[in-house]
């Protein structure tokens, strides 16, 4: 974005292609295959009429809504990707996000092709009833063209959407497919009561934390940055306090990091001595914004948070936030990309020359799609995670504890006993699976970079890893000659 907060004209999809081409140079695949992987397979641009209500006056009118669904790759099915509601939605953006989803799924070994959706609306201008009508009509359009289904294309929440919109989507889908036993698998990010999975709401932010924690655990990589290992004691700033930004910050704070800067759509708040995240969120809710927040320096330009003096910067808003214009002024030693495409290629070149570690979006914010995969599996298996093994585990653990007490002649304390006896429930298993996924994927990316000395950054290594996996799917399955 420019200084006045408006979106730049730089093509987001072209930026993704530039990253792709940079990585493809390190691989020995046929040009035709690389072009196939890079291209979006299906682009559905739609316009449909909806009766809308003015939020202030209540007056009704008919408005034509512009919306998109892009399926980037069907090398694995179903396709998978969120739906965002934003006035800035356009085809280029949705294509770029769909492409990133393909590579993201490949990196974390989630067996989906990439997709993305977008509805061009400003939610603040509409009543809840109007947003529901738009969501249901959008879903109907997807159903008409066979762009949604548990085995076809599975949407999820993204910027501007959440559990509420996903519940409307699944309800609409059920109305058209009442006899589909796997209908609840048509979308993820649903409420628990409608087949959702525990831990999904926090998943992307938790994944940002797990991935950054793993990067910070390697002394060999922290030493050139002048940083110690671990998260504790590190100063961090977050751009965006939506679902991803808030939960990322929450887990960092719980791990002992110091929050020194936050930004929302109306301003940035800086406090080198630290900000109370929960107080900031409470103030935002009570006052409708942060412009008058009293416990930090308030700057009307939200992008000012990107330039705060900190160890870790988490851009968790929209794409193209870090550009060649502001990159020279960035002081962070690690950029943990919580958002999709926050850093342009030109900016990345500047940052890498400054020895900044960039943990790329296509890996770091994969927590959402990873846990969406778990939710999809739950919907297809029709059983809650932990239901069959939780009591068995607890009973086995009880026998183990009793035997220890018998052999030692000592009783284990009640708190320790509770921890030893407790079997894993659904959220425990989801979080454990996410943690293992993020750790494994980070080392796969790092190992790719270490094996090829010419690769100097994690993003290029991540693209090399992803392209190789997608290309292998094409060739192994006989899709490509």
Supply the residues annotated as catalytic: 116
Region of 453 on the Ramachandran plot (φ > 0 left; ψ -120 to 50 alpha; else beta):
alpha
Q: Are 70 and 100 a contacting pair, CB within 8 Å?
A: no
Q: Are 110 and 369 a contacting pair, CB within 8 Å?
A: yes
d(CA 55, CA 52): 9
Question: What 3-state DSSP class applies to 470?
Answer: helix
Beta partners for 384? Answer: none
Cβ-based neighbours of 304, under 8 Å, separated by 6 or more: 263, 268, 270
Question: What 3-state DSSP class applies to 317?
Answer: coil
d(CA 105, CA 171): 27
Q: How many residues does the chain have?
A: 481
Task: Give the 3-state DSSP-derived string for 185-237, with helices as H, strands as E and coil as C.
Answer: HHCCCCCHHHCCCCCCCCHHHHHHHHHHHHHHCCHHHHHHHCCCCCCCCCEEE
d(CA 51, CA 26): 52
Phi, psi of 309 (to 5 degrees): -75, 110
d(CA 364, CA 473): 23
d(CA 336, CA 358): 6
Residue 147 tokens read as 């762009």
Task: Give the 3-state DSSP-derived string for 365-405, with helices as H, strands as E and coil as C.
Answer: CCHHHHHHHHHHHHHHHCCCCCCCCHHHHHHHHHHHHHHHH
d(CA 215, CA 451): 17
Q: Are 23 and 467 a contacting pair, CB within 8 Å?
A: yes
d(CA 283, CA 296): 13
Helix (H) or strand (E) holding 147: none
Neighbours of 147 (CB within 10 A): 21
d(CA 122, CA 399): 58
């Amino acid at each position: 974005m420019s200084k006045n907060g408006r979106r730049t004209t730089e093509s987001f999809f072209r930026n993704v292609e530039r990253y792709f081409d940079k990585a493809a140079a390190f691989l020995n695949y046929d040009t035709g295959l690389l072009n196939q992987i890079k291209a979006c397979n299906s682009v559905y641009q739609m316009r449909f009429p909806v009766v809308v209500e003015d939020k202030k006056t209540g007056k009704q009118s008919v408005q034509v809504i512009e919306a998109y669904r892009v399926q980037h790759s069907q090398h694995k099915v179903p396709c998978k990707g969120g739906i965002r509601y934003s006035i800035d939605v356009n085809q280029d953006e949705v294509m770029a996000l769909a492409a990133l989803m393909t590579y993201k799924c490949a990196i974390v070994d989630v067996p989906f092709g990439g997709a993305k959706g977008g509805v061009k609306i400003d939610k603040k201008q509409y009543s809840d009833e109007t947003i529901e009508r738009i969501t249901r009509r959008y879903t109907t359009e997807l159903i008409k063209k066979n762009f949604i289904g548990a085995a076809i294309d599975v949407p999820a929440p993204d910027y501007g959407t959440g559990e509420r919109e996903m519940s409307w989507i699944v309800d609409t889908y059920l109305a058209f497919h009442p006899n589909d036993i796997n209908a609840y698998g048509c979308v993820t990010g649903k409420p628990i009561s409608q087949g959702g999975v525990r831990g999904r709401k926090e998943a992307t932010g938790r994944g940002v934390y797990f991935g950054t924690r793993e990067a910070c655990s390697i002394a060999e990589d922290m030493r050139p940055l002048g940083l110690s290992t671990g998260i504790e004691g590190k100063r961090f700033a977050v751009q965006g306090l939506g679902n991803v930004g808030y939960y990322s910050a929450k887990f960092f704070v719980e791990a002992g990091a110091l929050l020194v800067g936050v930004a929302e759509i109306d301003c940035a708040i800086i406090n080198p001595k630290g900000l109370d995240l929960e107080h900031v969120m409470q103030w935002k809710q009570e006052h409708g914004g942060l412009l008058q927040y009293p416990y930090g320096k308030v700057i009307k330009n939200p992008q000012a948070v990107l330039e705060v003096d900190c160890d870790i910067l988490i851009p968790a808003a929209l794409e193209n936030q870090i550009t060649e214009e502001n990159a020279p002024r960035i002081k962070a030693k690690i950029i943990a990309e919580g958002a999709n495409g926050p850093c342009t290629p030109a900016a990345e070149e500047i940052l890498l020359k400054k020895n900044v570690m960039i943990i790329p979006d296509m890996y770091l914010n994969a927590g959402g799609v990873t846990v969406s995969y778990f939710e999809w599996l739950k919907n297809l298996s029709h059983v809650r995670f932990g239901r069959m093994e939780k009591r068995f585990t607890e009973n086995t653990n009880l026998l183990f504890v009793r035997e220890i007490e018998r052999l030692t002649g000592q009783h284990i304390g009640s708190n320790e006993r509770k921890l030893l006896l407790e079997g894993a429930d659904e959220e425990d298993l989801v979080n454990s699976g996410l943690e293992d996924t993020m750790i494994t994927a980070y080392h796969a990316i790092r190992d790719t970079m270490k094996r090829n000395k010419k690769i100097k950054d994690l993003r290029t290594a991540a693209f090399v890893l992803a392209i190789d996996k997608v290309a292998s799917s094409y060739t192994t399955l006989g899709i490509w000659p």
